[in-house]
Structure 1
Amino acid sequence: MFRILVFVVLVFLIARAIGWFVQKYQDSHGSGRLFKRMLSDGTIDESVYAGASWRESERFGHRRRRAVLAKEQRRFVVDSRRYLRNQYLETCTPSLYQYIIIFLIASVLGLVLETIYTFAVFGIVESRVGLVWGPFSPLYGLGAVLLTLCLWQVRERPWWQIFLISAALGGTLEQCAGWSMEHFADLQSWTYLGLPDHITQWIAWRFLAMWGVIGLVWCKAIMPELIFRIGEPTTRQQRIVVGALSVFMVLDIVMTLACFWRAGQRHRDVPPRNPFEVYVDTHFDDEFMERTFENMEIGEDLPISDK
């Protein structure tokens, strides 16, 4: 557990450091999406450039002028951005558009972090995807959405309350996901039965604590900034792209559930009963499932060990 927490904290600090440097660079040059957003909604105006120096640069054959703001101007931009962020968060209720983007981001980043973690700790590289199409692990996306949905209204409460709520949410999610996979698809992805602190096959005290820490970090440091930066769609293209991604994810999830269902049925020697099940058995056979979902066991018990 200690190694897991250290890894999560380390990744978070690296991401925050990269974000801080990028934001400092944008503030010093009066650029970036948030800066343009403040200009468009009137939080700041063109006077912010008064007294700034300008530099010319050439990229890909195009010359462009870039402002270099003075220290006082950069401070004004930072204060304006903080004011805009606080005003937005005070009146904001996360929308479906924001939840969809959070689900997509968390599904991809969760998969990347889990892959890196298993390589760093166990020295193995294996496919950790959770869907048949694309680099997604929907359990992480669902966890991020669930934490956001349940913690948004209580984000100002004491840290220990947020910790307990997050631990309860994470444990419930793992129990429901693990139980559903085993009972509806003869599928196992993890088991905690070999751990001395296990509560059920899919819940252990150490991972409840990890969920509590993750929820606390998410609630206090990540969720408000992410909601603010996502904002609301401002163009028709944004709505179309997010809508198309939503349709794709729904189809991906439905097809994945169908593939796991048929994998479990094939393990019981149940033949396909309609053309769709024949299609699934033909294009998503046992070899495909084993190759794609390397960390899962279909119709067999996992070794009694750590996750």
Structure 2
Amino acid sequence: MNRTKLEEESINLLKEITFEQEQLESLYLDMAKNESGEIEIPDLDEQIENRLQSLQRSANNINRSLLETEMMKDELKARKKDVDKKQLPSNTEIDYQESKSNRFAKGVNIYKLLLILFFGSFAGVIVEMLFCLFKNGYIESRTSTIIGPFNLVYGLGAACLTFFLYKYRNHGVWLSFIGGFVVGSVVEYFCSYFQELLFGSTSWDYSGYPFNINGRICLLYSIFWGLLGIFWIKDLYPLLSQFILKISNKIEKTLTIAATVFLILDYAISGFVVYRWMNREQHILPQNKVEEFIDVLYPNETMKEIYPNLVFKN
């Protein structure tokens, strides 16, 4: 059996602990003799305090070493498991490929996050539409934009999951689950909050679910976010990163900027159209030619088809 230097040092540490225990037995004996009056040790309290401080520092160092060792073991185990999945690229492989390249969208930076936001906004809509088809037997719009099937909740969710879980991409699934649980819940809550703040409307309501917070998030869907965190950072993220690596270096920056500008304009136009829809619900007449054009192009019937789950609050 080949032992690493770390293992050898851990064995020596156990020996040192045994030796320290023997030293403490001697100190306990001095304490007993001092208390019984058999001998008097003037600096005994100082010795005890010094030993306590030393043991506390030792405990802190050992606990930190234990945590670091457990994390190393967890990472090695997780990397092996990921690499063994032959059908998908692993984060270990992606890290290696990116280290050899001079691509601008590598690691976790603003360019990659913008590409992921675009991809997540699109893919999330497709997945939820398919889920609706499977669950209810019909296709229903899940987009949050007028032009194209994009949804900001999924885009922000994918970008935030990448940003916060990237550090733990090569560790066990429990960290990804916790991260996905927390990050997804926060994203979903604030998307709901700002939608209601800006447009006086909601697109989902979990009030009927147990353990919900203001109807914006609930335990069940937070668990789904946790599972999605695992699936995203372990499977989808390396797959998407591999695809990004294949994009020509000459166009990827231009492509990223173009996709971002498109999304900004799309969300801005969509927000304006929804705002006008809200005003129509309040019987506010159009104030200019643009609003008149919107009323003709996007009447209430059309808006209800695009946003079937959107409900305006009184």
Deviation at 1:254, TM superposition (A): 0.3
**1:67-101 deviations in Å (ceiling 9; x for gaps):** xxxxxxxxxxx9xx998634245684223332233
Which aligned pairs between 1:215-294 and structure 2 lie closer than 5 A?
Answer: 215-231=229-245, 234-294=248-308
Amino acid at match of 1:115: M
Residue in structure 2 matching 1:195, options 199, 206, 209: 209
Q: Which residue of structure 2 lines up, in the alignment, with residue 143 of structure 1? A: 157
TM-score (normalised: structure 2): 0.63
Identity percentage of aligned residues: 25
TM-score (normalised: structure 1): 0.64
Distance 1:194 1:168 in 2: 21
Deviation at 1:294, TM superposition (A): 1.9
Q: Which residue of structure 2 lines up, in the alignment, with residue 208 of structure 1? A: 222
Residues 150, 89 of structure 1: alpha-carbon distance in 2 compared, 3 angstrom cutoff: farther
Residue in structure 1 matching 2:96, options 87, 91, 100: 87
Distance 1:268 1:163 in 2: 43
Distance 1:200 1:269 in 2: 28
Q: Which residue of structure 1 lines up, in the alignment, with residue 119 of structure 2? A: 105
Residues 265, 224 of structure 1: alpha-carbon distance in 2 compared, 3 angstrom cutoff: same
Q: Which residue of structure 2 lines up, in the alignment, with residue 176 of structure 1? A: 190
2:213 aligned counterpart, secondary structure: coil
Flag the structure with higher helix content: 2
Amino acid at match of 2:94: R
1:231 aligned counterpart, secondary structure: helix
Distance 1:238 1:89 in 2: 15
Residues 123, 174 of structure 1: alpha-carbon distance in 2 compared, 3 angstrom cutoff: same
User: Contact 1:89/1:228 (CA < 8 Å) preserved in 2?
Assistant: no
Distance 1:190 1:84 in 2: 39
Greater mean deviation of Cα atoms: 166-175 or 178-187: 178-187
Amino acid at match of 1:223: Y
- In our comparison, the structure showing a higher alpha carbon Rg is 2
Deviation at 1:110, TM superposition (A): 1.3
Q: Which sections of structure 2, spanning at least 5 residues, go unmatched? A: 1-85, 101-105
Amino acid at match of 1:195: Y
**1:140-171 deviations in Å (ceiling 9; x for gaps):** 11111111111112323443232122111111
Q: How many residues align?
A: 224
**1:219-246 deviations in Å (ceiling 9; x for gaps):** 2222234224313853434443443332
Q: Which residue of structure 2 lines up, in the alignment, with residue 118 of structure 1? A: 132
Q: Which sections of structure 1, spanning at least 5 residues, go unmatched? A: 1-18, 24-77, 301-307
User: Contact 2:91/2:169 (CA < 8 Å) preserved in 1?
Assistant: no
Deviation at 1:250, TM superposition (A): 1.2
